[in-house]
Chain A
Amino acid sequence: MRDTLRWAYALNQWNVRLDVFVRHEDQQRALKTVSACGFDTIELASGTGRWDNISRPEVILANHGSHESFLNFLRRAKVRGVSSMFWDPQAPAEEEEGYAFRSTANPADSDAIVEWSKPFVDFLAGVGGEQLVVRPVGSAWMSPPLDADGIKVIGDVWNRIGELASAAGIGLALHYDCLGAVHTEAELTGLLQATDPATVGLALDTAEFTIGGIDPVGFYREHADRVTHVHLKDTRYADTGQEYRMPGAESTMLKGGAGRRIERWFYELGTEGGLVDVKGFVAALRERSFSGWVVVESDHGGNPAELAMLNSWYLQHELGVSKS
């Protein structure tokens, strides 16, 4: 995409289960799809184990031998590089002390989580990525509501990792999500205040914000100085009934197991009945000359190639972005 904004595409929708998206030829097809849609830069998402060979830094390197070889693998499909990588330290991973189930909300886990971040920081620096995008805290249903002290504990961990990342020449962006224990606008603002603006930024995900009840356009305008990364996607629903508090909200809410039984929350740009003011949000980015990556995402959606093409169509036809 040729534009004043820098556009990238997230690969996460291709890697929907542990045992898929493993063969290199499948990954090449996804990369070619993204390239044919006009994107030459991708965002990776962390995973675990031998099959997450385009997700987990150690496994990527085991597959390709070096950062440069991995970049050459991307270049075969005319993908130029990696903008960013998503990591959730709360997600179980065998590489992280063999599924230790730690949380940034627990002060006793801080040292270990800082240690766990190092492979990601090193990998991103090695492939020329710019942002480590992280889930700042686990799901709200798994712990009591956070007070100011609890938010400070979380902020402290990310300040330490932000320093590490900064020393390696990359940014750290906290990614708000609609299930997270940092949920309200006040809590999110509190987390930003608890972190160092010099080393810790915010990844603003338009759909997650909207589902969580925060207006992405208004929030961006107010906190543009802290927003260093963007995930652009749409949703048809807001969580108006506090479904995020349901036990097992990853399934009960986001997969429609209970509550309003909404089985799919995230949608491509331009979806019918979409709640995100995508044009307004992108206009706000342009007004402030946003210099970070705008990553188009289609996670938890449908056929990833279809969604990539529809997103590309929206950029070209509704946002006036030139494909080449």
Chain B
Amino acid sequence: MVWTKWSYMDHWVTETPQGPQPPSFNRAYMDRYVKQLSALGFTGFDTFFFYLHMLGGMYGSVPGFERFLQDNGFEKITGIFSAYPSATRYTAPHVRETHDRIVADCTNTLRMCEGLTGVENFIVMPTSTYHQTEPVTDDTIKVVADLWNRVGRLTLDHGMKTTCHFEFWGAIRTRPQLELFFEYTDPEYVYFFCDTAQHTIAGVDPIQLFRDYSDRCTGFHFKDTKNVDEHEAYRTPPDPELMAPQVTRWFYEMGEGGLVDFPALMKEIVTSGYDGWLTVEHDKAELGGGSYAEATAVAKWYIDNVLAEAEAEARRELEAAR
């Protein structure tokens, strides 16, 4: 058996007559983007909540876009990513008074997904930036947990699991903070989304984290990094992702000499019995002259050749142990 549930998280940039732009530049560019992912064999598609209106306009409706995906060999839209990276006076997960507004936003996003085949993950950044949230106390984490418990109950009514994607620059980033958050959230409503690079940068072993929370894990972002944050870059205001003085590019595609041990993770996934989607994400792949297209092809090559072998090895070991 070969893992077939590989999805792609929509971050692309492509060259247009108006300079490098997301493929949503126009319908023709979007069509070409989907065809490229299809050629490589991706069958799931994740996107941001703020793209849904644009996709609806471009393809008649969000389900219309999903039909285009399906015409090109995709199974469906698998995940919707929602986030408030910057805290504002309207929306800040650590500020209880803004929760009603955030829940209303999530309701609107869910409405945009009506008619889709079956989005599985409602992926959220649990907090805004660390520097806007600190000091991060147990109570801060409790407030944040309360919000996602509410949202989790809501999304489950629409068939989607609210699943938390932690950033290295977010307010919940260390192992103790993560443990407390999972303790404060209801396992029935709030799940874990494992971004391999983000946890590694934050100094948390993503494989061990998955091992410990595999029963709550509903997805992954397979991406790599070459740096652990050793200079408290996560506290850099206003933004550590692009403005950290010591590290100009944090994220890399798999197989390029990064820190994440993807074959070991793949074996762990197979051994755990996880059977959900595995998502490839490239974030800021254009930094240093990189190309999203090539990064995606190289990552899929790594999946088809290196991870496929790790998966097969894990299955052989499972079989032998029976």
Contacts and interface: CB of A to CB of B under 8 A. Distances in A.
B188 interface: no
Interface residues on A, range: 20 to 34
A32 B15 contact: no
A306 B36 contact: yes
Contact of B301 (A33, A302, A306): A33
B54 interface: no
A316 interface: yes
A272 interface: yes
Contacts of B154: none
Nearest to A36: B301
Contacts of A310: 32, 35-36, 39
A281 interface: no
Contacts of A46: none
Given A78-B305, A305-B291, A310-B32, A33 B297 contact: yes
Interface string B287-301: 000010110111011
Interface string A80-109: 000000000000000000000000000000
Contact of A317 (B28, B32, B72, B304): B72
B61 interface: no
A312 B40 CA distance: 8
B174 interface: no
A77 interface: yes
Nearest to B302: A32
Contacts of B302: 32
Given A310-B36, A313-B35, A313-B38, A303 B291 contact: yes
A313 B39 contact: yes
A309 interface: yes
A308 interface: yes
Nearest to A33: B297
A26 B255 CA distance: 13
B14, B28, B35, B39 — most chain A CB neighbours (10 Å)? B39
B36 A35 contact: no
A323 B42 CA distance: 13
A285 B143 CA distance: 67
Q: Is the interface of B mostly helix, strand, loop or mixed?
A: helix
A29 B298 contact: yes
Contacts of B263: none
A230 interface: no
Given A37-B39, A37-B40, A303-B291, A308 B14 contact: no
A306 B14 contact: yes
A150 B23 CA distance: 50
Interface in B246-294: 255, 291, 293-294
B301 A78 contact: yes
B36 A313 contact: yes
B41 interface: yes
A306 B293 contact: yes
A305 B39 contact: no
Nearest to A316: B39
Contacts of A33: 294, 297-298, 301
A32 B38 contact: no
A52 to B, nearest CB: 20
A32 B255 CA distance: 11
Interface string A281-316: 000000000000000000000111110111011001
A303 B293 contact: yes
A232 to B, nearest CB: 16
A36 B304 CA distance: 8
A29 B293 CA distance: 11
Contacts of A316: 38-39
Given A33-B297, A36-B297, A36-B298, A309 B291 contact: no
Contacts of A317: 35, 38, 72-73
A308 B293 CA distance: 9
A312 B37 CA distance: 10
Interface in B1-42: 14-15, 28, 32, 35-41
Contacts of B35: 309-310, 313, 317
A310 B33 CA distance: 9
A323 to B, nearest CB: 7
B28 A308 contact: no
A36, A77, A272, A302 — most chain B CB neighbours (10 Å)? A36
Contact of B14 (A36, A303, A312): A303
Contact of A35 (B32, B255, B301): B301
A298 B39 CA distance: 16
A29 B294 contact: yes
A312 B41 CA distance: 11
B298 A32 contact: yes
Given A29-B298, A313-B39, A317-B38, 11 more contacts: A32-B298, A33-B301, A36-B40, A38-B39, A305-B293, A306-B14, A308-B297, A310-B35, A312-B39, A312-B40, A317-B73
List 8 A-B pairs, minimum CB-CB distance, nearest first. Answer: A309-B36, A305-B293, A305-B294, A33-B297, A32-B301, A312-B39, A313-B39, A36-B301
10 contacts: A32-B301, A35-B305, A37-B40, A37-B297, A302-B15, A305-B293, A305-B294, A305-B297, A312-B40, A313-B38
Interface of B: 14-15, 28, 32, 35-41, 72-73, 255, 291, 293-294, 296-298, 300-302, 304-305
Interface of A: 29-30, 32-33, 35-38, 77-78, 272, 302-306, 308-310, 312-313, 316-317, 323
